[in-house]
């Protein structure tokens, strides 16, 4: 019996929920109907497939690059979740397998990681952490019929149609930006300096904050080459070069 990876993973999760619901019902049910030979053959085939094919998940998270300091916790949390599932009996009686791949911070790294996970036959991929990195591989992953779910992608771009194979658990910048702007205004601040990463994530969030409120016009934008340098260096005034 041939099934796509996405259908198999969804069926496995749905079956797990149904089994949990069935376990909560203490009343046995009676039936007089006996299975037909066709039904029995299909049942045996499904059981045989469940015995030979377990759920395989991939984690495409930053082991290297700018977000590696966040990736360590994300990877540990993913491994803990899989361990908890397996401790509880796995999915359809089979242990869940987890394969890790590096997201990095370069397009080539995340593409290589996605290709390796897809080639390993994963049913779903957790990640990437960065919106920009997820956009690099979104078409590749969903085009292969593999589910993708990120816990940190906030770019409004992901709200568009995605063949129903991409999911995220973090709200869009289009929602978070206005909330942050309202919070700043509610605390009585009217002159605000916005410090943001120089990537799609940082600039998207900053734009959403600026669009929410009539903040005073910025006299000059300052870009720190290193995040730590922004804590100790001021933006240079017009006509003056930084020391």
pLDDT tens figures, 11-52: 443 333 333 333 444 444 444 555 565 556 555 555 544 454
Alpha helices in 57-199, H assignment, sequence order: 68-87, 107-119, 131-143, 173-186
Distance linking the first and last C-alpha atoms of the chain? 69
pLDDT tens figures, 127-141: 999 999 999 999 999
Residue 231 CB-density burial (10 A; 0-12 exposed, 13-18 middle, 19+ buried): exposed
**What are the domain boundaries of the chain?**
54-170, 173-217
Handedness of CA 65, 66, 72, 73 (dihedral sign): negative
| Residue 58 φ/ψ, nearest 5 degrees | -115, 145
pLDDT tens figures, 100-149: 999 999 999 999 999 999 999 999 999 999 999 999 999 999 999 999 99
- Whether the Cβ atoms of residue 173 and residue 205 lie closer than 8 Å to each other: yes
3-class DSSP assignment, residue 7? helix
Domain spanning 54-170: CATH 3.90.105.10: no
User: CA-to-CA distance for 126 and 102, rounded, in angstroms?
Assistant: 12
Would the pTM count as exceeding 0.85?
A: no
- Whether the Cβ atoms of residue 206 and residue 154 lie closer than 8 Å to each other: no
Count Cα neighbours of 181 within 13 Å in the Cβ-side half-sphere.
Answer: 17
């Amino acid at each position: 019996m041939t099934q796509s990876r996405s259908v198999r993973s969804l069926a496995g999760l749905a079956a797990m929920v149904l089994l949990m619901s069935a376990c909560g019902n203490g009343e046995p049910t009676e039936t007089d109907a006996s299975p037909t030979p066709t039904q029995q053959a299909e049942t045996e085939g499904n059981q045989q497939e469940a015995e030979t094919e377990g759920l395989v998940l991939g984690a495409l998270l930053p082991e290297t690059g700018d977000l590696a300091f966040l990736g360590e916790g994300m990877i540990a949390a993913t491994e803990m979740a899989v361990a908890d599932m397996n401790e509880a009996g796995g999915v359809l009686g089979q242990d869940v397998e987890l394969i890790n791949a590096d997201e990095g911070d370069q397009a080539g790294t995340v593409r290589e990681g996605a290709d390796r996970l897809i080639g390993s036959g994963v049913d779903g991929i957790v990640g990437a952490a960065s919106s920009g990195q997820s956009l690099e591989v979104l078409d590749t992953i969903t085009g292969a019929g593999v589910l993708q779910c990120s816990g940190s992608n906030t770019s409004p771009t992901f709200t568009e149609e995605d063949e129903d194979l991409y999911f995220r658990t973090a709200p869009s910048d289009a929602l978070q930006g206005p909330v942050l702007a309202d919070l700043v205004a509610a605390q009585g601040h009217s002159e605000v300096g916005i410090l943001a990463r120089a990537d799609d994530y940082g600039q998207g969030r900053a734009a959403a904050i600026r669009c929410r409120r009539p903040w005073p016009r910025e006299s000059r934008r300052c870009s720190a080459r290193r995040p730590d340098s922004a804590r100790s260096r001021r933006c240079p005034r017009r006509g003056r070069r930084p020391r």
